[in-house]
């Protein structure tokens, strides 16, 4: 009964969202106060029905209601409550449900935070509602999480995939989803703006805080995913150009360009075409991500169950959204073009360059993701596009973007200035960065142009902003804390990534019990190995005593686990974290002579990579809070 109530509430919410969409977009008088009140209230009711439906579903999962097929297939009585809840988003149906609930949550927050007399509000709510209806029908018709096993439910449940039994993974998908679907707000407002066709309306200012908030979730979500893959999947790195990582990176790149472009449009009504196109692009790429993951079109750790019907529905719906947007855009293009030209070397000019460079990056990633699919389709041969392709494109373009960023610090809004290349801040940063790069080249004997270029570009940004901060302390020259933190984090990210690829090493050793091997500055003694029994898995646990060059010692205990319910074997890495490097050990198989294969990695500055990404997110948080204090 309770399952049916939950199911019914979702259906009811779909109906209400359909009403909101109808009244706000398809009726001519949607801006009368009566209708707009109706829209606001009906949406809120729809949201509460959908939320209740989801909360009941969470309750069903907590209480092990295995009459629900999805819960029976993905949860287990032996799981702690935390993982019973996160099992909901461990596979397609439940995670789609969560995705939709988050989408409606953003709409709800927009609904209560934005005043009713805001001219774009009714139509924005309408666009959000139509999108919700499309996805709810997708959920209920092709991937219904409420399907039941009758008459006799199984007793125990099939268990969540063991690699997903991890705190980082329990929060990684929700954070990422909040980011993806958050861009529905700028998208829906842009569409509302185009529907109105009145170029005096400043839709960009309305969505600034919302866009930056969504960007923060996307940034943190991607970082959490990167961290999880490193220690739980045992991938041993931070980025693998896995197709699903790429489909998260594309909306992030588009969103970053969008936020920059948005700033210009708010300030001077320029770059409006860019801003509108980017808002459409960000949301379309978020939907494209959902399509790639859920249609089974690619094989990846992230891919969900395969079902061509789902793929076709999603593709059709995305096509509908994209073509409606494109049609509206073409229709209104002439009325939204700004008349004022962008001045040379003004801030606007640098941001347009940034838009172009980011556009090139997005296009390259899109090519990297789709090219193997096209190739296989046309020539029936599998090829893979990997790190060399992406490195060859990303390193020069990002370095170029960093150099433009460096010069843009001096630029002014709407004014062209004469660049003095020997001005103190510029020469100071260039000289220090050159010195640092030459030091790295000599000390680490590195001659890789891509690494040196990245280090140079990264340090240019950092030194330039250090100069700004010092200037601020002594002369109180205004700086934008958001921009300083975000861009310095980018510099830190570039430098961390460069050092990581310059210094990190790994090696597989075969080692006998009670012997010592040395690798680089480390002495590794194999102390112990044994079997441990746990509630839902058995594990082989090894103990290594590691001594580094300073004489410090520590224990590392990697494991191999075998989970009972699925018989799946997972590798648990053991990591020793220090300020500058991680020592990372995984254990492999036992050889015939009794020795064990052990993989050792020394990963330099890998924590700094995630730290810089999180700092970027923090910059966004600062912007959001400083904005909401002002309003």
Partner 1 sequence: MNLLLKLIVFIVPTIFLLLFFMILTNEDTYPGADYDQFQIPEFELKVLDNTMTVNNDLLNGDYVLNVWASWCITCIIEHPYLTSLSKNGIPVIGLNYKDEQEDAIIWLKKYGNPYQTILHDYKGNLALDLGVTGAPETFLISDGRVVAHYQGEVNDQIWNDVFLPIIKDRKMF
Comparing CB distances to partner 1, the nearer of 73 and 104 is: 73
Size of the site for partner 1 (CB under 8 A): 48
Residue 589 found at the interface with partner 1 (CB under 8 A)? no
Binding residue (CB under 8 A) for partner 1 from 33, 334, 475, 549: 334
Rounded-to-integer distance, Cα 132 and Cα 219, Å: 24
> Please, what is the Cα angle at 583 between 440 and 235, to 5 degrees?
95
Contact 240, 191 (CB under 8 A): no
Could you please report the per-residue DSSP string of 582-618? EEEEEEEEEPTTS-EEEEEEEEETHHHHHHHHHHHHH
| Least gap, CB of 91 to partner 1 (angstroms) | 13
Which range, of 93-101, 210-218, 302-310, 521-529, touches partner 1 by CB under 8 A? 302-310
At 393, which helix (H) or strand (E)? helix 387-408
For 277, residues 6+ apart whose C-beta sits below 8 A from its C-beta are 329
Selected binder of partner 1 within 81, 155, 531, 535 (CB under 8 A): 155
Part of the chain binding partner 1 (CB under 8 A), chosen from 23-31, 353-361, 372-380, 512-520: 372-380
566 binds partner 1 (CB under 8 A): yes
Q: Return the residue of 315, 432, 575, 597 that touches partner 1, per CB under 8 A.
A: 315
Q: What is the DSSP string of 117-183?
A: T-TTHHHHHHHHHHHHHHHHHHHHHHS-TT-B--SS--SS-----GGG-SHHHHHHHHHHHHHHHHT
Could you say whether residue 550 binds partner 1 (CB under 8 A)?
Answer: no
From 307, 517, 548, 559, residue interacting with partner 1 (rule: CB under 8 A): 307
CB of 25 to partner 1, least distance (A): 22
Question: Which range binds partner 1 by CB under 8 A, 28-36, 116-124, 384-392, 558-566?
Answer: 558-566
Closest separation in Å from C-beta 145 to partner 1: 16
Angle, CA of 129, 60 and 306, to the nearest 5°: 65
Residue owning tokens 């990190």: 504
- Give me the helix-helix angle, 92-113 and 167-182, nearest 10°: 50
Give yes or no for residue 564 binding partner 1 (CB under 8 A).
yes
Interface residue with partner 1, options 112, 301, 333, 508 (CB under 8 A): 333
**What's the length of the chain?**
631
Taking the least distance from each CB to partner 1, the nearer of 327 and 554 is 327
151 in contact with partner 1 (CB under 8 A): yes
**What is the chain's alpha carbon radius of gyration, rounded to the nearest angstrom?**
27
Examine residue 474 and tell whether it contacts partner 1 (CB under 8 A).
Answer: no
The distance of closest approach from Cβ of residue 66 to partner 1 in the complex, given in angstroms and rounded to an integer, is 8
Q: Does residue 330 interact with partner 1 by CB under 8 A?
A: yes
Residue 319 binds partner 1, judged by CB under 8 A: yes
| Residue 73 binds partner 1 (CB under 8 A) | yes
| 297 near partner 1 (CB under 8 A) | yes
Pairwise CA distance, residues 4 & 88, whole Å: 17
Site string for partner 1, 79-118 (x = CB under 8 A): ----------------------------------------
Cβ-count burial 484-511 (b if 16+ within 10 Å, e if not): bbbbbbbbbbbbbbbbbbbebeeeebeb
Stretch of residues binding partner 1 (CB under 8 A), selected from 19-27, 36-44, 194-202, 367-375: 367-375
Residue 337 or 555 with smaller CB distance to partner 1: 337
Using rule CB under 8 A, residue 152 touches partner 1: yes
d(CA 53, CA 5): 8
- Contact partners, residue 439, CB within 8 Å, separation at least 6: none
d(CA 547, CA 370): 47
Q: Decide if residue 138 touches partner 1 (CB under 8 A).
A: no
Q: Establish if 163 lies at the interface with partner 1 (CB under 8 A).
A: no
Least Å distance between CB 524 and partner 1? 33
What is the smallest separation between the CB atom of 316 and partner 1, expressed in angstroms?
A: 9
> What strands lie across the sheet with 581-590, from one edge to the other?
505-511, 596-604, 581-590, 574-577
Quick check: bond before 142 cis, omega within 30?
no
Stretch that binds partner 1, among 183-191, 301-309, 428-436, 573-581 (CB under 8 A): 301-309
Calculate the alpha carbon distances from 45 to 52, 115, 351 in Å.
10, 18, 41
Of the candidate residues 40, 61, 71, 72, the single one contacting partner 1 (CB under 8 A): 72
Q: Three-state secondary structure along 570-583?
A: EEECEEEECCCEEE
When asked if residue 284 is in the footprint of partner 1 (CB under 8 A), the reply is yes
Alpha-carbon distance of 48 to 42, in angstroms, equals: 10
Choices 168-176, 322-330, 411-419, 582-590 (CB under 8 A): range interacting with partner 1:
322-330
569 binds partner 1 (CB under 8 A): no
184 or 280, CB closer to partner 1? 280
78 binds partner 1 (CB under 8 A): no
* Under rule CB under 8 A, residue 396 binds partner 1: no
Residue 295 touches partner 1, criterion: CB under 8 A: yes
**Smallest separation, CB 77 to partner 1 (Å):** 11
Q: How far is the CB of 131 from partner 1 (least distance, A)?
A: 17
- What's the token pair of residue 492? 């830190």
Whole-Å CA distances, 11 to 57, 133, 173, 324, 481: 14, 10, 25, 25, 46
377 vs 443, beta carbon nearer partner 1: 377
Question: CB atoms < 10 A from the CB of 168, how many?
Answer: 15
Q: What is the DSSP letter of 340?
A: S
Residues near partner 1 (CB under 8 A): 69, 72-73, 149, 151-158, 273, 277, 284, 291, 295-299, 306-308, 311-312, 315, 318-319, 322-323, 326, 329-330, 333-334, 337, 366, 370, 373-374, 376-377, 380, 564-567
């Amino acid at each position: 009964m309770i399952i049916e109530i939950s199911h019914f509430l979702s259906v009811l919410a779909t109906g209400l969202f359909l009403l909101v969409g109808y009244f706000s977009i398809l009726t001519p008088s949607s801006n009368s106060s009566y209708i707009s009140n109706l829209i606001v209230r009906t949406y809120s009711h729809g949201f509460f029905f959908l939320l209740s439906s989801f909360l009941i579903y969470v309750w069903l999962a907590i209480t092990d209601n295995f009459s629900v097929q999805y819960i029976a297939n993905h949860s287990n009585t032996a799981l702690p409550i935390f993982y019973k809840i996160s099992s909901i988003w461990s596979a397609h149906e439940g995670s789609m449900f969560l995705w939709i609930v988050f989408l409606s949550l953003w709409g709800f927050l927009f609904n209560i935070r934005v005043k009713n007399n805001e001219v774009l509000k009714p139509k924005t709510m309408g666009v959000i509602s139509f999108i919700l209806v499309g996805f709810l029908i997708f959920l209920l018709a092709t991937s219904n999480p409420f399907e039941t096993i009758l008459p006799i439910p199984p007793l125990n449940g099939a268990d969540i995939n063991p690699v997903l039994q991890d705190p980082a993974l329990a929060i990684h998908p929700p954070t990422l989803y909040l980011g993806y679907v958050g861009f529905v707000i700028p998208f829906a407002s842009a569409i509302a703006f185009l529907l109105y066709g009145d170029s005096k309306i400043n839709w960009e200012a309305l969505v600034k805080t919302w866009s930056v908030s969504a960007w923060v979730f996307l940034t943190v979500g991607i970082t959490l995913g990167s961290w999880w893959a490193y220690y739980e999947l045992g991938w041993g790195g931070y980025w693998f150009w896995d197709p699903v990582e790429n489909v998260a990176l594309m909306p992030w790149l588009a969103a970053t360009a969008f936020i920059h472009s948005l700033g210009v449009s708010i300030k001077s009504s320029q770059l409006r075409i860019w801003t509108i196109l980017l808002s459409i692009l960000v949301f379309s790429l978020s939907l494209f991500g959902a399509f790639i993951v859920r249609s089974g079109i690619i094989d990846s750790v992230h891919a969900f169950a395969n079902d061509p019907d789902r793929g076709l529905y999603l593709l059709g719906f995305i096509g509908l959204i994209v073509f409606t947007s494109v049609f509206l855009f073409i229709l209104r293009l002439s009325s939204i073009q700004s008349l004022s030209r962008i001045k040379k070397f003004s801030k606007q000019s640098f941001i347009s360059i940034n838009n172009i460079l980011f556009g090139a990056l997005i296009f390259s990633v899109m090519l990297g993701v789709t090219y193997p699919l096209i190739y296989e389709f046309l020539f029936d041969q599998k090829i893979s596009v990997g790190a060399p392709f992406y490195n060859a494109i990303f390193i020069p373009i990002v370095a170029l973007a960093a150099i433009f960023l460096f010069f843009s610090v001096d630029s002014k809004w709407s004014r062209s200035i004469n660049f003095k290349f020997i001005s103190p801040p510029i020469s100071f940063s260039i000289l220090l960065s050159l010195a640092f790069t030459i030091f790295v080249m000599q000390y680490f004997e590195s001659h890789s142009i891509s690494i040196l270029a990245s280090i140079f570009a990264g340090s240019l940004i950092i030194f330039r902003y250090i100069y700004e901060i010092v200037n601020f302390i002594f002369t109180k020259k205004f700086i934008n804390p958001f921009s300083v933190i975000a861009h310095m984090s980018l510099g830190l990210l570039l430098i961390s990534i460069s050092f990581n690829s310059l210094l990190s090493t790994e090696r597989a050793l075969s080692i006998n019990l009670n012997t010592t091997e040395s690798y680089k500055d480390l002495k590794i003694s194999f102390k112990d190995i044994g079997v441990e029994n746990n509630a839902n898995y058995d594990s082989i646990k090894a103990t290594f005593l590691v001594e580094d060059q300073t004489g410090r010692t520590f224990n590392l205990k990697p494991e191999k686990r075998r989970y009972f319910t699925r018989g799946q074997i997972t590798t648990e890495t053991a990591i020793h974290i220090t300020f500058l490097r991680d020592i990372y050990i995984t254990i492999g198989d036992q050889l015939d002579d009794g020795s064990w294969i052990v993989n050792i990695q020394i990963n330099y500055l890998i924590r700094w990579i995630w730290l810089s990404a999180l700092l970027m997110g923090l910059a966004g948080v600062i912007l959001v809070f400083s904005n909401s204090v002002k309003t």
